[in-house]
Amino acid sequence: MPASKSPVPASRSRVPAGREVDWLLFNIDWLVTCDAEMTRFASGAVAIEGDSLAAVGPSCELLNLFRGRVEADLRGYLLMPGLVNTHTHAAMSIFRGVADDMPLKTWLEEIIFPLENAFINPDSVYLGTLLSAVEMLKSGTTSFCDGYFFEESAARAALNAGIRGIMGQGVLDFPAPDLPDSSKFQSRAEAFLSNFPGDCGRVRPSLFCHAPYTCAPRTLTRIKELCRSHKILFQTHLSETAGEVEEIMNRYGRRPAMLLDSLGVLDELTLCAHGIWLSHDEIHSIARSGASISHCPESAMKLGSGVAPVPEMISLGVKVGLGTDGCASNNDLDLFSEIDFAAKVHKVFKNDPLACPAEQALRMATLGGASVLGLENEIGSIEPGKKADLIALSLNQPHLTPIYDPVSHIVYAARGSDVRFVWVDGQQIVKDGRVLSVDETEVISEATRMGLEIRRKIR
């Protein structure tokens, strides 16, 4: 049956009864909850009250229990939780494709750092983050974990876009666009936390020490202490390249994860991005500490950094989420593509078709991603009491026909462009594939203008 173009008030053959809720979504072809059991419902329904899920189950049951102020017949759609992007640098969307096919160190030091010094300011961070938020929302990501400079501006962009965000203020031991005197890193971090916009609900603060090779032990421990005192997430890049590992070994006599462990910065509110060149002992240390890994396979593949030992991490109890990294090194923020790559790259790398099954790949982008951010009790699955962060994919398309297993379709066939409707905190943010919270045309126009300025700089 053709998919409805828009969730609109739907007529019933009887007078609706039952408890009134804000939204009642019903007749959903496939409802994939992504809970611990990966429960699926054919002809499912969801009741939304305020910012949370009131009930989940078969349509025949919920239609008798609830009536919605807005009721939407979602025949022809697959409904699932919004995706969770656990590592990105959203403002770097303004550098998308500016330099490709380079080693990470060359790319950073010769291209990105000079461009950041020339173009990164509060306005450009706001614009780049807003552009990324539009891209993420339209492709099904409802939560993201960010790390960059002028992160107050990034937080304002997330608030205005309606997306859920963990906003990490970047910290380095050399001059940065928002801190020419790097010795004042602690006061910069404290000012960020003191002036953080919003009520720390949908958009929350974090601190991001760039990496053990750009942040000295004193910097890492001080920022981690600040995170602990505020009970917020500490982020860092970890073992992204073999050269990074060698540099840390030469400098400190320990592998990077062992260095972080010895400094006491690894715990359940520590998120390490990449983790590509981890030893077996390092994986054990991360698992014991409760720290998490953000796996970014596409960026790692493009930069030639390697393949993270994710199957080993998961088997040893490390929490793993999926991230896109910044779209200056990916070059997009489509997490559906990331799920597909994550499921496949480990199969070919280990010559084992069971190395990363579809359910495991999907979990890393939903409930697993929520867990690495410490938000597993709020988001990541469709369960009563959790936030109503939902996405609906149109199934009335050749590449999604026929459908036997909806989880297989999500992982191996779906695309971000299949997403038609998005709710965050119970508010509809995307309708018929268009973001309602901001003017997409204006955002794209402004980003195009900035791109022309950057192009003139690099010629």
- Tens digits of per-residue pLDDT, 141-156? 999 999 999 999 999 9
User: d(Cα 38, Cα 140) in Å, to the nearest integer?
Assistant: 18
pLDDT one-digit tens code per residue, 352-395: 999 999 999 999 999 999 999 999 999 999 999 999 999 999 99
User: d(Cα 390, Cα 416) in Å, to the nearest integer?
Assistant: 14
User: d(Cα 80, Cα 72) in Å, to the nearest integer?
Assistant: 15
Per the model's pLDDT, the better-predicted residue between 273 and 5 turns out to be 273
Reference 74, options 125, 143, 24, 145; nearest CA is: 24
pLDDT one-digit tens code per residue, 52-69: 999 999 999 999 999 999
Query: Mean of the pLDDT values across residues 283-308?
Result: 96
Q: Please give the pLDDT value at position 2.
A: 35
Query: Mean of the pLDDT values across residues 405-433?
Result: 98
Are the beta carbons of 186 and 206 closer than 8 angstroms? no
- Give 16's pLDDT tier (boundaries 50, 70, 90): low
pLDDT one-digit tens code per residue, 119-137: 999 999 999 999 999 999 9
Q: Please give the pLDDT value at position 371.
A: 98
Determine the angle formed by the axes of helices 256-263 and 280-289, rounding to 10 degrees.
Answer: 30
pLDDT over 60 at 270, yes or no? yes
Are the beta carbons of 380 and 372 closer than 8 angstroms? no
User: d(Cα 322, Cα 339) in Å, to the nearest integer?
Assistant: 7
pLDDT one-digit tens code per residue, 219-262: 999 999 999 999 999 999 999 999 999 999 999 999 999 999 99
Q: Please give the pLDDT value at position 90.
A: 98
- Give 100's pLDDT tier (boundaries 50, 70, 90): confident
Q: Please give the pLDDT value at position 222.
A: 98
pLDDT one-digit tens code per residue, 309-351: 999 999 999 999 999 999 888 999 999 999 999 999 999 999 9
CA dihedral 149, 155, 161, 163 (to 10 degrees): 100
User: d(Cα 214, Cα 210) in Å, to the nearest integer?
Assistant: 6
- Give 4's pLDDT tier (boundaries 50, 70, 90): very low
Are the beta carbons of 264 and 224 closer than 8 angstroms? yes
pLDDT one-digit tens code per residue, 177-218: 999 999 999 999 999 999 998 766 999 999 999 999 999 999
Residue 351: C-alpha distances to residues 160, 238, 445 (Å): 45, 26, 46
- The torsion angles phi and psi of 397, rounded to 5 degrees, stand at -145, 150
pLDDT over 50 at 14, yes or no? no
Query: Mean of the pLDDT values across residues 17-28?
Result: 94
Domains of the chain: 19-82+385-435 (2.30.40.10), 83-372 (3.20.20.140)
Q: Please give the pLDDT value at position 441.
A: 96
- The torsion angles phi and psi of 24, rounded to 5 degrees, stand at -130, 110
Query: Mean of the pLDDT values across residues 400-418?
Result: 97
User: d(Cα 365, Cα 63) in Å, to the nearest integer?
Assistant: 30
Q: Please give the pLDDT value at position 193.
A: 96
pLDDT over 80 at 7, yes or no? no
pLDDT over 90 at 458, yes or no? no
CA 271 vs. chain centroid, Å, equals: 13
Is pTM beyond 0.85? Reply is: yes
pLDDT over 60 at 13, yes or no? no
Q: Please give the pLDDT value at position 101.
A: 87
Q: Lowest-confidence range among 27-36, 106-115, 124-133, 294-303?
A: 106-115
Query: Mean of the pLDDT values across residues 435-456?
Result: 95
Q: Please give the pLDDT value at position 338.
A: 97
Q: Please give the pLDDT value at position 200.
A: 66
User: d(Cα 210, Cα 273) in Å, to the nearest integer?
Assistant: 10
Reference 112, options 134, 126, 123, 96; nearest CA is: 96
CA 60 vs. chain centroid, Å, equals: 34
pLDDT over 60 at 3, yes or no? no
